[in-house]
C-alpha cells in the first residue's frame, strides 16, 4: 500500500469515526440537556460520562482527519490546506469546551451534598448556565466551523484538485456555506437550533462528509490527480507509483522513498 493510499484510508476512517460517536452522544446527554434541575436531582451520571467519552473521540477524529489529509492537499493550495487544519483544530477545541462544561455539571452535582435550598437553587442556575455553554459550543463547533472547514475549504480543495469526483467537491462547496449560514442565523435568533430549517440545512453537508469518508476508504484518491499534484512526479509519494530502487555509481541499490 502506497503512502498516499495509507493517508487516504486514515482520513476516510477518521471521517467515518466522527459520525459514530456524535449521534449516540446526544442521546446519552439527554438527561442533562433536557432537565433544568439535573444538577439537584439524582441519577444518570454514567450516561453523561459515556457521552463525554464518545465526544472525546469525536474531537480527536476531527484533528486526525485534517492531519492525514494535509500532506496531500497542501500541494493544491498550502494556505487553504493550513486553514483547513486550523479550523478543524479549532472545532475540536470548541467541542472540548462543551465536554468540560457538562463534566463540570456532574462535579457540582456531586459536591452539592447537604446544601440548603438556597444553595441548591443557585447551583441549579449554574448548571443551566453550563448546559447553555454546551449548546453554544454545539452550534459553533459542529455547526458553523464544520461547515467552514469540512464543507467550504475541503470542498474547494477537492474540487480544484480533482482528487475525488468534482461533483462530490461541489457538494461540499454547497453544503458547507449552507450549514455555516444556518448556524449564524440561529446565532442571530432567526430560528431555533433544533428546528426544521436547521435540520434541512445540514443535509447536503451530512451527505458530503459521509460520502467523502466512504470514498476514501473504498477507492482512495484519483491516481492521475495525485500525479499532477506532486512537485516531483518521480518521487512515488503523491503519485502512488512504486519506484524501483535507484542504482548509484557504487552499484548498491538505494531503497525507494515510499
**pTM attached to this predicted model:** 0.82
Does residue 116 have a pLDDT over 60? no
What's the whole-number mean pLDDT along residues 100-110?
Answer: 86
Domain membership of residue 71 as a residue range: 3-221
- Residue 156 belongs to a domain: yes
CA–CA separation, 228 vs 251, rounded Å?
Answer: 32
Compute the C-alpha angle 163/87/180, nearest 5°.
90
- Residue 237 belongs to a domain: no
Give the confidence band of 34 by pLDDT, cuts at 50, 70, 90: confident
pLDDT of residue 252: 52
pLDDT of residue 258: 45
- Residue 72 belongs to a domain: yes
CA–CA separation, 153 vs 180, rounded Å?
Answer: 12
Tell me how many domains the chain contains: 1
Count Cβ atoms within 10 A of the Cβ of residue 77 and give its class: 0-12 exposed, 13-18 middle, 19 or more buried: middle
Distance of CA 27 to the CA centre of its chain: 19
Give the confidence band of 244 by pLDDT, cuts at 50, 70, 90: very low
Q: Which tens digits make up the pLDDT trace of 175-215? A: 999 999 999 999 998 988 888 988 999 999 999 999 999 99
Count Cβ atoms within 10 A of the Cβ of residue 142 and give its class: 0-12 exposed, 13-18 middle, 19 or more buried: buried
Give the confidence band of 230 by pLDDT, cuts at 50, 70, 90: low
From 22-31, 201-210, 225-234, 243-252, the region with the lowest mean pLDDT: 243-252
- Residue 257 belongs to a domain: no
- Residue 233 belongs to a domain: no
Q: Which tens digits make up the pLDDT trace of 37-67? A: 788 777 778 889 999 999 999 999 999 999 9
pLDDT of residue 240: 46
- Residue 14 belongs to a domain: yes
What's the whole-number mean pLDDT along residues 145-157?
Answer: 93
Does residue 122 have a pLDDT over 80? no
- Residue 196 belongs to a domain: yes
pLDDT of residue 82: 95
Does residue 256 have a pLDDT over 70? no
- Residue 245 belongs to a domain: no
What's the alpha-carbon Rg for the chain, to the nearest Å? 23
Amino acid at each position: 500500500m502506497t503512502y498516499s493510499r495509507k493517508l487516504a484510508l486514515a482520513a476516510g476512517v477518521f471521517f467515518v469515526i466522527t459520525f459514530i460517536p456524535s449521534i449516540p452522544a446526544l442521546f446519552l446527554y439527554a438527561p442533562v440537556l433536557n432537565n433544568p434541575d439535573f444538577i439537584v436531582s439524582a441519577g444518570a451520571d454514567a450516561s453523561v460520562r459515556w457521552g463525554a467519552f464518545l465526544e472525546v473521540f469525536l474531537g480527536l477524529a476531527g484533528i486526525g482527519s485534517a492531519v492525514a489529509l494535509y500532506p496531500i492537499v497542501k500541494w493544491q493550495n498550502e494556505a487553504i490546506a493550513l486553514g483547513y487544519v486550523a479550523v478543524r483544530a479549532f472545532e475540536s477545541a470548541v467541542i472540548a469546551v462543551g465536554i468540560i462544561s457538562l463534566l463540570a455539571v456532574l462535579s457540582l452535582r456531586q459536591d452539592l451534598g447537604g446544601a440548603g435550598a438556597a444553595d441548591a437553587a443557585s447551583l441549579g442556575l449554574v448548571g443551566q448556565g453550563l448546559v447553555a455553554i454546551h449548546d453554544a459550543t454545539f452550534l459553533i463547533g459542529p455547526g458553523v466551523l464544520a461547515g467552514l472547514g469540512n464543507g467550504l475549504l475541503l470542498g474547494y480543495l477537492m474540487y480544484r484538485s480533482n482528487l475525488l469526483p468534482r461533483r462530490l467537491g461541489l457538494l461540499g462547496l454547497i453544503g458547507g456555506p449552507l450549514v455555516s449560514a444556518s448556524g449564524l442565523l440561529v446565532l442571530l435568533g432567526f430560528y431555533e437550533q433544533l428546528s426544521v430549517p436547521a435540520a434541512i440545512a445540514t443535509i447536503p453537508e451530512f451527505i458530503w462528509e459521509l460520502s467523502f469518508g466512504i470514498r476514501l476508504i473504498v477507492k482512495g484518491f484519483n491516481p492521475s490527480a495525485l500525479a499532477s499534484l506532486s512537485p516531483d512526479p518521480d518521487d512515488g509519494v503523491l503519485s502512488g507509483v512504486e519506484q524501483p530502487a535507484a542504482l548509484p555509481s557504487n552499484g548498491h541499490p538505494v531503497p525507494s522513498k515510499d
